[in-house]
Structure 1
Amino acid sequence: MSYLLAAKPAGCYTSSPDCEREGMCEYLSRQTGEQLRAPSSLDAAVSGAVVFARSDRTERELVELLRGRRIKRQYLAVTDRPLPDDGSISTDEPDRVSAVRHTSAADVGSGVTFRRYRAAAGHTGPYTVLEVQTSDDATRELRRRAARLGIPLLGDGDNGGSAFPRLMLHCAEISFNSEIGGAVRHHVPTPSVISRLGKPGRGSLNAWLTALDRRQGLFPNDEEATFRIMHSDGEGVRCDLLGEVCWFYWFRQRPPDDDDLADIADLTNEAGVRHWKVQYMGDRGDNPRARRQWHSSDLESWTGAENGLRYLLRSDRGLSPGLFLDQRRNRGWVKENADGCRVLNLFSYTGGFGLCAAAGGATEVANVDTSRRTLDWSRENFALNGLDATRLEFRPVDARGFLAGCRKRGRTFDLVICDPPSFSRGREGVFRLERDLAGILREAADVLAPGGTLLVSTNYEGWSRTRFDQVVRGALQGGKFRFRPPPPPDWDFELPGEERIQKSLLVSGR
């Protein structure tokens, strides 16, 4: 096809506004290996149908179609302001904007049509969903015109709209006639947060549906897919899609009540997933092994997939099911760069980094963790993927003790992964990230082979990215190392330009 058609999530740019923030065009170019162009765009706050040119020729055609206003767009827009009983809305710009009637279309400005699409009574008052037809992509002007008509859009605080988790403006369809590729009509699904308007609302459901809508179009087409559904936008709740289970991390101080669990069931259903489980995280500092769970089934083990590898997941071991999705891109980097390397995986947990290293062709993989139980789990993950056990080590020892032994024997590694917990207890005592990370890094650097690489990572929320960089660079001074960022996270986590919870650095010997 001459054009690539996509559904843009709300909150991301169509194309990059600067070198720091990746847009949808750059993201899809990276995913497909194509050099896409984006002469047409949607504002960052707007979701919906977008079209990208695949060649210089189609880019030129798209530009000409835009100039000639020959690209038609249909939007869904939501307002919570009641429409007049007489069926009309007047405006103070009669020469530019005519009356808008509930049941019939009327021109608003140049090439813009508002008409009543559907009305629904919501739990906080009536919502009206409007269908807006236009032949340009000036969504900011569309929003201003709606405000001048007395119907500012929900979530459009800049133009007097009521507060909402997102701007309720969605491009449902884009169509045009291409001389190169023929007629193009691109329709995208209505976001859940719009289609559910008028149904009883509880708690944070609107915010959760908004989070799901932002990511659902990016889900891998795989029954065992693993993906973050809610991150920092879940209002104290995070949710991972893990194969056939939606796993909720409940960080709020109070446990979930019946209404919360009903919302969880609704979100799981909207995501098309069979089961849900909720893990309470409120007392994890007092007892890291504590498990307070709520669930829709007694399922205790299942599998998920990532980067072509499968993982055994469990609901009966600690606070996590066995796979931290925020390390997906880092694990992918290890898999791509481990060929021929001797790899040390410190604080290995269920062995994800070691698994990726072995799958990527590492000649040696040493997994080090104080928990024999999680090392046994690691062995199961390696066996699940049919990997050769002769290249593998599983050492139930303290990371510092293992590093000391390597220094004593002169053993070195080409790649060392250091992703420690923020707090842990072991036979050798207590590990606290804030106090102990610098020392661990210096010891890990001592076992790096010449030209080797140290991958350092943490999701400790008590540190900003700046503070993390200061600690890592401060621990490894002396001009012996080069520091560079790892690949950016996928879009199911923070969007480009947002502060990341997970922080990482690649440190290479000079």
Structure 2
Amino acid sequence: MIYLKVKPKEVKKYKGGYPLISKDTIYNCQDLQEEGQLVTLVDDKNHFIAQGYYGRQNKGYGWLLSWKEGESIDQSFFQRKLKVALDGRIDFFSDPDTTAFRVFNGEGDGIGGLTIDYFDGYYLINWYSEGIYQFKSFVIESLTNLTDVKGVYEKKRFNINGKYIDDDDFVTGERGEFPIIVKENGVRFAVYLNDGAMVGVFLDQRDIRKTIRDNYASGKTVLNMFSYTGAFSVFAALGGAEKTTSVDLANRSRPKTIEQFSVNGVDYEAQDIVVMDVFNYFKYAAKKQLKFDMVILDPPSFARSKKHTFSAAKDYKDLLKETIVITEDDGIIVASTNSASFGMGKFKGFIETAFKEMNGKYKILEEFTLPKDFRTTPAFKEGNYLKVVFIKKIIG
């Protein structure tokens, strides 16, 4: 057990349940040696604050797991946490129209660095540090004790030299026959748990896709930027969109988007699927004077192409300005970001500044954060990373 001494000004925060161990809040991070080792946080009088584990993840040095002095961090601890999380998703398990959702969401469910997603009987574990990966046997045993598992897959999302660890992702149970066809609010998705870092759909956007389908898409021309596998486009098409245009730089986005349209019986040839640098497409659309009734803007927090580098914290406002140009009057912009480095208030500030600099007017129609299966804790606000705003571009 390593004892980490917390800086005095940080003690209250940690006692209040803040779960992330960081270099800036601890005096003796240099004492940390092997990822996965258990640590105890103490104040300057060596009084117990909390205990957790050492695991490097982004700017963090690990996560706190328990505020009970003397509590054992063992297999039964993990099983208790997982059982509470699974019990909290009973409504999802009983919904025949949605068979893909998150069953364990990191620090929101009490164990930072670990997420588990459910795909119609298969479970996908995401490990975000070498530290949490040291507890793999506890997690697997807990999962198999508590659930009827078809099979378990994993993604090691801790980088080595900046690269995803692309091992055989199968862990236990039966190997899946891919794609697995799952449902989300009645819409079908083809997912691959054995094919690199991404599986084919981002589950945190569930409420946004449903809202687009049910309330906004009918009769609209829809542009889906940074479209990945076209999930927004599929929902828009099924919601009665006149036409969808999906734009993404990745070559594989085209066959993946065709597949998602096809498993839902949508004629992909009636849609536009464009493989192009999104930043170049903005210029192309403006030059051709193309305009859309709805533009969905969901960039990654950070993106790099041959000619462009994008950071949501620095560049989202300018991306919105380019979006405003190609949005019809009275049209809708769905502005989305998964950047944890700023909150909803700052995000709305980007929107306000973008329209002001374009001499435009707008109205916020509705806004979203993470869906309820992506549980968060009030003590760690940055864990509620998703921010989505439906904006109406007002004439005059």
Q: What TM-score, normalized by structure 1, do the two folds share?
A: 0.57
| In structure 1, C-alpha distance between the alignment counterparts of 2:218 and 2:255, rounded to whole Å | 25
Task: After TM superposition, give the deviation of residue 452 of structure 1 in Å.
Answer: 0.4
Q: 2:335 matched to 1:461?
A: no
Q: 2:101 matched to 1:227?
A: yes
Relative to structure 1, the CA distance from residue 202 to residue 343 in structure 2 (aligned partners, 3 Å threshold; closer, same or farther) is same
Identify the match of residue 126 of structure 2 among 231, 245, 249.
249
Bigger Cα Rg: 1
Q: 2:84 matched to 1:206?
A: no
Q: 2:292 matched to 1:418?
A: no
Relative to structure 1, the CA distance from residue 452 to residue 224 in structure 2 (aligned partners, 3 Å threshold; closer, same or farther) is closer
Task: After TM superposition, give the deviation of residue 363 of structure 1 in Å.
Answer: 0.8
Task: After TM superposition, give the deviation of residue 469 of structure 1 in Å.
Answer: 2.4
Q: 2:365 matched to 1:491?
A: no
Identify the match of residue 240 of structure 2 among 357, 361, 366.
361
Identify the match of residue 295 of structure 1 among 162, 171, 175.
171
Match of residue 158 from structure 2: 282
Q: Which secondary structure does the structure 2 equivalent of 1:204 belong to?
A: helix
Q: Which secondary structure does the structure 1 equivalent of 2:139 belong to?
A: helix
Q: Which runs of 5+ in 2 are unaligned?
A: 1-63, 69-73
Relative to structure 1, the CA distance from residue 166 to residue 353 in structure 2 (aligned partners, 3 Å threshold; closer, same or farther) is farther
Match of residue 451 from structure 1: 330
Paired positions, count: 315
Q: Which secondary structure does the structure 2 equivalent of 1:486 belong to?
A: strand
Task: After TM superposition, give the deviation of residue 380 of structure 1 in Å.
Answer: 0.5
Relative to structure 1, the CA distance from residue 490 to residue 433 in structure 2 (aligned partners, 3 Å threshold; closer, same or farther) is closer
Q: Which secondary structure does the structure 1 equivalent of 2:367 belong to?
A: coil
Relative to structure 1, the CA distance from residue 219 to residue 249 in structure 2 (aligned partners, 3 Å threshold; closer, same or farther) is same
| In structure 2, C-alpha distance between the alignment counterparts of 1:166 and 1:486, rounded to whole Å | 34
Relative to structure 1, the CA distance from residue 385 to residue 268 in structure 2 (aligned partners, 3 Å threshold; closer, same or farther) is farther
| In structure 1, C-alpha distance between the alignment counterparts of 2:161 and 2:185, rounded to whole Å | 32
Task: After TM superposition, give the deviation of residue 290 of structure 1 in Å.
Answer: 4.2
Match of residue 46 from structure 1: none
| In structure 2, C-alpha distance between the alignment counterparts of 1:166 and 1:212, rounded to whole Å | 22
| In structure 2, C-alpha distance between the alignment counterparts of 1:271 and 1:392, rounded to whole Å | 40
Q: What RMSD over aligned residues (CA atoms) do the two structures have, in Å?
A: 2.9
Q: 2:303 matched to 1:434?
A: no
Match of residue 257 from structure 2: 378
Give aligned-pair identity as a percent: 25
Q: Which one has more relative contact order, counting CA pairs under 8 Å at least 6 apart?
A: 2
Aligned counterparts, 1:127-206, within 5 A: 201-202=75-76, 204-206=78-80
Residues 203 and 260 in structure 1, CA contact (< 8 A), matched pair in contact too:
no
Match of residue 270 from structure 1: 146
Q: Which runs of 5+ in 1 are unaligned?
A: 1-162, 168-199
Q: Which amino acid aligns with 1:405?
A: Y
Task: After TM superposition, give the deviation of residue 270 of structure 1 in Å.
Answer: 2.0
Relative to structure 1, the CA distance from residue 390 to residue 217 in structure 2 (aligned partners, 3 Å threshold; closer, same or farther) is closer
Residues 240 and 247 in structure 1, CA contact (< 8 A), matched pair in contact too:
yes
Deviation per residue, 1:250-303 (Å, 9 max, x gap): 11343623x52342243255233311111111218923x543445225435312
Identify the match of residue 213 of structure 2 among 325, 335, 352.
335
| In structure 1, C-alpha distance between the alignment counterparts of 2:218 and 2:345, rounded to whole Å | 32
Task: After TM superposition, give the deviation of residue 409 of structure 1 in Å.
Answer: 1.0
| In structure 2, C-alpha distance between the alignment counterparts of 1:407 and 1:303, rounded to whole Å | 38
Relative to structure 1, the CA distance from residue 310 to residue 371 in structure 2 (aligned partners, 3 Å threshold; closer, same or farther) is same
Residues 166 and 196 in structure 2, CA contact (< 8 A), matched pair in contact too:
yes
Q: Which secondary structure does the structure 2 equivalent of 1:371 belong to?
A: coil
Identify the match of residue 117 of structure 2 among 240, 263, 284.
240
Q: Which amino acid aligns with 1:388?
A: D
Relative to structure 1, the CA distance from residue 214 to residue 482 in structure 2 (aligned partners, 3 Å threshold; closer, same or farther) is same
| In structure 1, C-alpha distance between the alignment counterparts of 2:269 and 2:204, rounded to whole Å | 29
Q: Which secondary structure does the structure 2 equivalent of 1:445 belong to?
A: helix
Match of residue 324 from structure 1: 202
Q: What TM-score, normalized by structure 2, do the two folds share?
A: 0.72
Residues 97 and 186 in structure 2, CA contact (< 8 A), matched pair in contact too:
no
